[in-house]
Amino acid sequence: MHSAIAPIARLGAAVSRLVLELGRVARFGAVACVALLRPPYRLRRLSHELFDTGVLSLPIVCASGLTVGLVLGLQLYWVLVRFGSESSLGSVVGLTLIRELGPVMTGLLVTGRAGSAMAAEIGVMRATEQLDGMRTLAMDPLHYVVGPKLLAMLLAMPLLASLFILFSIFGAWLVGVQLLGLDHGVYLAGLEQSISFRTDILGSLIKDVVFAAIIALVATYRGFTSGQSAAGVGRATTGTVVTASVCILLADYIVTALWGF
């Protein structure tokens, strides 16, 4: 009897732990949002976080966007040639990048660079008791540390995704027009005629904001709960990358289904 019930009991315990953890994350996010709206507004901290999150992520985002565009243009061109539709290269590249590939790839790249750095920084502050010191000085760590990081990620993510998409479109143009001989006007006309602001661009921006909130929330929560040890900081960093990446992929499906692409 016990052997038959044990798997169900373990499943129930795992589900209970998951629900409790989701509740803690939701509570942490709500408190962080309230702290973000409460004065004083730390503009210097915000500019510092914008530099760390946005400016330092520019090289990897732009370089990755260019290489993705080169590969995407080459692959899609030869696929379209099979159906005699190589003139549609601009349309297919634009829709693929703006709707899906741009926001998702940027989210994963920012998670690996800025999200992991966020978790590591807060984890070190936790391990060295800097967060407790802030409370001793009557400073709210959520207001001083988490709020600027969250707002910086929300501001930087759409801009980084836009740059990724632009560099990818340029990379596909280099391959399709300069290398394979597709007409320049045909490429740009297909790109212009196929893109809709409400369906494509606005939906892409919504995904950017959702992904930014996920990255910032997961990174800061993992850092805050990392514990006071070097091993805890390492677990928080790797856990941030894994958890945020999976959540981005799940959120991508949900937003796509709800937005009605």
**Residue 16 corresponds to which amino acid?**
S
- Beta carbons within 8 Å of 123's beta carbon, 6+ residues apart: 222, 223, 226, 232, 233, 236, 237
Could you tell me the CA-to-CA distances from 172 to 35, 92, 113, 193, 217 in Å, in that order? 43, 11, 25, 17, 34
What pLDDT digit, counting tens, does each position of 177-223 carry?
Answer: 888 888 888 888 888 888 888 888 898 999 999 999 999 999 998 88
The confidence score (pLDDT) of residue 19 equals 79
Please name the amino acid found at residue 27: R
Q: Which of the residues in the chain have pLDDT under 50?
A: 1
Rg (CA), the chain: 22
> Which residue, chain included where needed, has tokens 């937003």?
255
Output the pLDDT for position 1: 46
Give the integer Cα–Cα distance in Å for 244 and 218. Answer: 6
**What local confidence, expressed as pLDDT, does residue 88 receive?**
85
Q: Which of 62, 60, 46, 101 is nearest to 216 (CA)?
A: 46
List, in order, residues 6 or more apart from 193 with CB less than 8 Å away.
91
Whether residue 186 contacts residue 86, with contact meaning beta carbons closer than 8 Å, is answered with no
Give the pLDDT confidence score for residue 174 in this predicted structure.
Answer: 93
Q: Are 129 and 227 in contact (CB under 8 A)?
A: no
Tokens found for residue 161: 């995704």
Beta carbons within 8 Å of 28's beta carbon, 6+ residues apart: 217, 220, 221, 224
pLDDT tens digits, one per residue of 32-60:
788 777 777 778 888 999 998 989 999 99
* Nearest residue to 212 via CA among 57, 22, 19: 57
CA distance 99 to 76: 16
